[in-house]
């Protein structure tokens, strides 16, 4: 009877020590956890999702929803996004491999915001004052006539400069013309009416006049 009791106690002590040793090994085991976060409807990657290990932020997903981090068996990985509901992935305690890959699905979340009324005047008194002082003497015809004033249009025509889009388009046209005549003689513009019009316009504006040299002091 004593021998049976001794054997039983020895087995119990060995089991407890083995369990503690196994627990210590699992606690010191690190796993490379990689995966992709996808939308629950389209199954497309969700970018810029915050990935937490427990309550500690660790990383975020890239543009394609991919992420990777180092975890331990039994950890909880939380996923938080502004456009989706939060999700949690629980790792098992019996993981033994060094690398695991998961696909985490997130469900879209709709946030209902309170209604906000925006008024152009801060109070009813200011609206009343502005309404009573409103000047309705100018008609649509007067405004159209003002916008089509010949002097204003002429001034804009003479002083208006090309914007970035127009400059880019002109540069691309010049480049295409150069590529079109690459490896051969360039085209002659003597019979080109547009080139003659540009030449006459430049001549009228005095662009071919001899300019006085700039003197530096």
Domains detected in the chain: 27-106 (2.60.40.1120)
The whole-angstrom distance between residue 145's C-alpha and the CA centroid of its chain comes to: 44
Q: Is 104 helix (H, G, I), strand (E, B) or coil?
A: strand
Question: Where does the chain have alpha helices with state H?
Answer: 2-27, 124-132, 140-147, 150-159, 164-180, 193-204
**Residue position matching structure tokens 């916008």:** 147
Q: Which of 103, 104, 100, 64 is nearest to 80 (CA)?
A: 104
Helix (H) or strand (E) holding 39: strand 31-39
In 45-93 the beta strands, taken as DSSP E runs, fall at 50-53, 56-60, 66-71, 76-80, 87-90
Give the residues across from 51 on adjacent strands: 59, 79
Signed CA dihedral, 193, 196, 202, 203: sign only = negative
Signed CA dihedral, 192, 194, 195, 200: sign only = positive
The model's pTM is 0.44
C-alpha span between 85 and 107 (Å, rounded): 6
Give the per-residue pLDDT at 81: 92
Q: What is the DSSP string of 110-169?
A: ---PPP----SSSSHHHHHHHHHT----S-HHHHHHHHT-HHHHHHHHHH----HHHHHH
Q: What is the pLDDT along the chain (217 residues), one digit of tens a residue?
A: 555 545 444 554 455 444 444 444 445 688 999 999 999 888 999 999 999 998 899 999 999 999 999 999 989 999 999 889 999 999 988 888 889 999 999 999 887 888 888 778 888 888 888 888 887 777 888 888 888 888 888 888 788 888 888 889 988 988 887 777 777 776 777 777 888 888 888 888 887 777 666 565 5
């Amino acid at each position: 009877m004593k021998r049976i009791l001794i054997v039983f106690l020895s087995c119990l002590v060995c089991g407890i020590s083995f369990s503690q040793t196994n627990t210590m090994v699992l606690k010191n085991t690190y796993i490379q956890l990689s995966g992709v976060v996808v939308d629950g409807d389209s199954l497309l990657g969700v970018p810029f999702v915050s990935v937490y290990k427990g309550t500690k932020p660790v990383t975020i997903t890239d543009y394609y929803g991919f992420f990777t981090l180092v975890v331990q068996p039994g950890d909880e990985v939380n996923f938080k996004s502004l456009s989706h509901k939060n999700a949690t992935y629980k790792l098992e305690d019996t993981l033994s491999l060094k690398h695991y890959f998961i696909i985490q699905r997130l469900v879209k979340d709709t946030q209902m915001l309170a209604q906000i009324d925006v008024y152009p005047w801060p109070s009813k008194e200011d609206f009343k004052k502005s309404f009573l002082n409103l000047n309705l003497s100018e008609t649509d015809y007067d405004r159209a006539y003002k916008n089509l004033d010949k002097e204003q249009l002429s001034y804009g025509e003479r002083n208006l400069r090309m914007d970035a889009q127009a400059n880019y388009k002109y540069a691309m046209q010049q480049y295409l013309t150069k590529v079109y005549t690459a490896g051969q003689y360039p085209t002659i513009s003597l019979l080109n009416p547009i080139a003659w019009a540009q030449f006459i316009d430049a001549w009228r504006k005095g662009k071919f006049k001899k300019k006085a040299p700039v003197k530096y002091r």
